[in-house]
Amino acid sequence: MGENMTRSIIRTALGAAAVATALGGIAAPAFAQRDPAYAAARAAGQVGEKMDGYLGIVGAETAELRRVVNDINIKRRAVYAERAQANNATLEEYALTAGCQAILATTPGEKYQAPDGTWQTRTSAAPLRDSRCP
C-alpha cells in the first residue's frame, strides 16, 4: 500500500511537471521581459512612446540609446507588418493604432508624445492622444 501511494505521488508530480512545462511553453512569449537596457532607459525617461507606434529618444541622443531604440523599432515594424497584413490594413494604419494603445499603456513617470509633438510625462490622468484614438 505504501509503495502504491509513493507511485501515485510520483505519477501526480510528473503529471504536474508536464502540465507546467506545456503551459510555460505556450505562455512564454506573453511574459517575455524587456531587455534590461530598454527597461532602464524607459524608466529613466530617456525613451518614450511616439504617436506613430514607434519608440523615440526623448533627450540627448547617445549611440547606446540609438542602438536600443533601433533594435526595438525594427522588431516592432516586423510585428506591425505581419498583423497589418492579417487585418487587411496598411503598416502605417496598424502602427498608428498600436501607438494609440502603447501610449495608453504607459505607466506614470514614463514619456509619451502628445498630438502637438511634444514629449509629455505620463501622470495618473489619461494621456493626451490623437483625436482618432479609440
Partner 1 sequence: MIRAYLTDPSPLATSEFMQITGATMGRRLLAIAAVPLALGGCITVEAPTEPIVIELNVNIRQEVIYRLAEDAGDTIENNADIF
Q: With beta carbons less than 8 A apart as the criterion, state whether 42 and 49 touch.
A: no
Chosen residue from 18, 20, 79, 109 binding partner 1 by CB under 8 A? 79
Smaller CB separation from partner 1, 77 or 120: 77
Candidates 7-15, 16-24, 70-78, 120-128 — which segment interacts with partner 1 by CB under 8 A?
70-78
Rounded distance between C-alpha atoms, residue 78 and residue 25, angstroms: 22
Question: Binding of partner 1 at residue 26 (CB under 8 A)?
Answer: no
Among 8, 14, 105, 109, binds partner 1 (CB under 8 A): 105
Decide if residue 36 touches partner 1 (CB under 8 A). Answer: no
Question: CB of 95: closest distance to partner 1 in angstroms?
Answer: 9
In this structure, what C-alpha cell is assigned to residue 66? 540609438
Q: What angle do CA 90, 70, 35 make, to 5 degrees?
A: 110
- The residue ranges that bind partner 1 (CB under 8 A) are 29-35, 52, 72, 75-76, 79-80, 83, 86-87, 89, 92-94, 96-98, 100-102, 105, 132-134
